[in-house]
Structure 1
Amino acid sequence: MHNLPLVGLANGFIMTTKPDVVAAQRGRRLTKADRRQQLLATALEVIREEGADNLTLGHLAVRAEVSKPVVYDHFGTRSGLLIELYRWIDTERVEAFRQAMAIAGKDRKETIASLANAYIRCAADLTGEFYVVGAALAGSPEKAEVYAELLDQSVAMFVAVLGPFNRLTGPAATRLCVGLVGAGEGLSAAIVRGKLTETEAIATFRELINASVP
């Protein structure tokens, strides 16, 4: 496997906490890093079960079984919480993608097939929550800045993975991967909207990458 840049590790942790682990953490004395992870995992539970409108700092404190000052100390405002959750969800997608690519084949055909499969599957798994949180941040200058940062990270991964098979280099390779990442995001969104099946999206993305990489 080609070495991938270590990207998407927001604040030095990844979203690996399982629901039962989160439940066990509630009410316990945790390190600040572990508490932050537990709060973000609980926030995602609220989004999934109750919708983004119900995700407030006060409600998060109740669900996580901590005091309000603890939540305010970590995030400051609801917008701050949503921004960190937005980053965290994408971190999960990136980490799952990196793990999938770590066992990918090394020739061009295998790498492109693995890239298309891993990216679409990882993106589609959490794209719904990603868009829900993004919608809650609509109009926020911070959202636009963070979204651009996350896209840049995905582009860097594509450049690294496709580099050995791509005759384009430098800015030209980056521009190509910007387009491919945009296509991947669009296909993932179509799965969430019910416009494409996952299988159709993966096959389409594989064809796009194969035709685009000279």
Structure 2
Amino acid sequence: MTGKQRREQLISIGRSAFAEQGFDGTSVEDIAARASVSKPVVYEHFGGKEGLYAVVVDREMQDLERRITASISEGSWRDRIEQAAMALLTYVEEETDGFMILVRDPSSKQDRAFSTLLNTAVSQVSHILGTAFKHRGFDENLAVLYAQALVGMVSMTAQWWLDERQPAKEVVAAHVVNLCWNGLSDLETGPQLGSSKLGTQLDDVAVEDAVVNTEKHTEE
């Protein structure tokens, strides 16, 4: 192998090992054995396990970030939500090892993490939401709050689906979008806690009035 080919081999082997055993459970000896090389070869290319892990994490971050950014770059509001959900679920399906490394084996040694990627997505979504909020007369400053909620919902659902794999990703995405879209379509400009109780009370009053009116009509 050339130096470049050996490096790519070690990255691929390290990726699989980190996904299977975690950062702490993987050793340079293990990686070298899988690649059928001596330990000094691993040190020569990456300086150690930490260096290899950093390269693996960075590649996964860049891949997922490209997918998410592309998914929300164009289309209608609903299209963007659908595309983002499908982009993340497709990444989970196609690059399971990479996603497991990002969400299950966080390392304090890394400057970048899955949370960093989510923050990038939140920033992009909040920018889009801010424009929509302004158009509809909502407070633009609240866009980041809603963006956090949307990104968090899609992210947590993807982590759940990592193990379940049922139903199909298209079905999962459709239900996530169903919740997101219907929630966004019927936003209140000034929501308050307890409003559902007030709504129930008003409904009860309406029912009581209807009963009274019916009784009066019957008596007449």
Scaled by the length of structure 1, the TM-score of the pair is 0.62
Q: What are the equivalent positions in structure 2 for 1:105-120 lying under 5 Å apart?
A: 106-120=75-89
- Relative to structure 1, is the Cα distance of residues 195 and 45 closer, same or farther in structure 2, using a 3 angstrom cutoff? closer
Unaligned residue ranges in structure 2 (runs of 5+) = 188-220
Matched, 1:188 2:152: no
Q: Identify the match of residue 142 of structure 1 among 97, 105, 109.
A: 109
Q: CA deviation at 1:101?
A: 5.0
The structure-2 alpha-carbon separation of the partners of 1:170 and 1:57, relative to structure 1 and needing over 3 Å to count, comes to farther
**Residue 144 (structure 1) shift:** 8.6
Specify the SS of the correspondent of 2:113.
helix
Q: 1:166 to 1:77 in 2, by over 3 A?
A: farther
Correspondent of 2:2 among 28, 34, 52: 28
SS at match of 2:3: coil
Match of 1:158 in 2: 125
1:183 shift after superposition:
0.9
Q: Which residue in the other structure is 1:6 paired with?
A: none
Which runs of structure 2 are paired with 1:81-100 in the superposition (5 Å)?
81-100=52-71
CA distance in 2, matches of 1:107, 1:169: 21
Query: What do residues 48-94 of structure 1 show as CA deviations (whole Å, max 9, x unaligned)?
Result: 6x644763223323444555334224544434433442332232222
1:124–1:188 contact (8 Å) kept in structure 2: no
Code of the aligned partner of 1:154 = A
Aligned residue pair count: 180
Distance 2:145 2:96 in 1: 23
Give aligned-pair identity as a percent. Answer: 21
Q: 1:97 and 1:152 mapped to 2: Cα distance?
A: 12
The residue type equivalent to 1:191 in the other structure is W
Which is higher, the Rg of structure 1 or of structure 2? 2
Query: What is residue 71 of structure 1 aligned with on the other side?
Result: 42
Of Structure 1 and Structure 2, the greater helix share is in 2
Question: Residues 93 and 126 of structure 1 are in contact (CA less than 8 Å); yes or no, is this contact kept in structure 2?
Answer: no
- SS of aligned partner of 1:193: helix
Deviation at residue 145 of structure 1 after TM alignment = 6.0
Runs (5+) with no aligned partner, structure 1? 1-26
CA contact (8 A) 2:68 2:88 kept: yes
Query: TM-score of the superposition, structure 2-length normalised?
Result: 0.60
Q: Distance in 1 between matches of 2:35 and 2:127?
A: 39
